[in-house]
Structure 1
Amino acid sequence: MTLRAEGVAFAYHGSPVLTGVDFTAETGVVTALLGPNGAGKSTLLKHFNGLLRPDAGRVLVDGTEIEDDEAILREVRSRVGFVFQNPADQLIAPTVRQDVTFGPRNIGVADAVDVDSLLARVGLPDAGDRHPHTMSNGEQKRVALAGVLAMDPDYVVMDEPTAGLDGDGAAQFVGLIEDLVAAGVTVLLSTHHVGFATTVADRIAVLTEGEIKYEGKDIDRETAVQFGLRTWAL
């Protein structure tokens, strides 16, 4: 039970971003993908939800390769939820309630979604009738997470979940990730903030120059500095 990239290469308009990535995020483990800005972390993560397809190599969810097949992509996206770095890219409905049920409505199961319970789970009780774009960045990120959780995924992939948040906001996401793990959800996240990664993750990988250059259960300050990473505490 894994998310796995095998020899993944990807370029934007001929400019290589990933040049042969081998990477695994195992079920039941919080994995943090570290790397400096522009390293390709977002690009790699989007492959695990089928948002991008590799130019070379392959991406697998629990051993099944993601292909340009509508049925496979629908199955992958129901099992692998993706929380964008910028929640404005994800929130499209006029109310929080409609946004949270957007995914389930598309597959005809919106009536089964307990929106109030999901919003309470992400610390936003009674927010169902608010307009998402009147909310703070941290609140929008939590609404986006609630929408992902409405699909009851096995995996949640978070792209820079603490970007734009202060210390309290980052601490809230630590708690949310701990709750996801307790509920049996596997979390893969990207960050360039070492303190956050070492606080939440069971395993750390560093992506730089298009490849995974380090993997381990932890990362020391000297190694982090070598890769140009932020090293201050959460």
Structure 2
Amino acid sequence: MARVQAFFRSLLQGIFRWITRIVVAFVALSILWVVAYRFVTPPVTWLMARDVLAGQRVERAWVPMTVMSRNLPRAVIGAEDANFCTHHGFDFEAIRKAAMGNLEGAKLRGGSTISQQTAKNVFLWPERSWPRKALEAWFTGLIEIFWGKPRIMEMYLNIVEMGPGIYGMAAASDHYFGGRVDRLSAGEAAKLAAILPQPIKRSVTKPSRSVRRYARRIEKRVRVVARDGNDACLWD
């Protein structure tokens, strides 16, 4: 009996040691990955790889946020995450409202922040599951710590899906408006932001009536974001 107990004790200790090593390795590698992307452009994302494997031509161009029109970050803040500069990766009030709306059967936008969307798009695969959500929360916390708001926004604007095979606002500006990412008007930036978070179903060039109305609302929010300094964390 004592030998059996000793065997199982040794087995459990071995399993615990391996689990500990795996967790430590994951934490270390994920931190190194995040820190590397603080300075290096991601070569590819899961969504881009998916399109390439499906034979889809991918349009992509990395442009520093300082070269983009300021209307672009203001438009996505107004459309996707009004509290971007004040939260630490998670907007718990937006999450609460989204959860309540889901329970009541209302069609509300999700509670994901730009930070969460960036973490998902850069590091993770397109799937709705609790394990992926847990990893999304982990990477969201890491990019808030190691990147800061300007880098998070720059990354988001450069890797967000903006149509079939189109990634980033520079590629979207070129595709839809003839390549003027540095001079986009508030209206043009609003049109781009209005197709989020459903860039495949919604169209910039042939928007539905609801998308046109939404773009007009975002255009007004661009001015509010600028007036109230809701994008102040992005600029020195």
TM-score (norm 2): 0.26
Higher relative helix content: 2
- Rg (Cα) greater in structure: 2
Whose strand proportion is higher, 1 or 2? Answer: 1
TM-score w.r.t. structure 1 length? 0.26
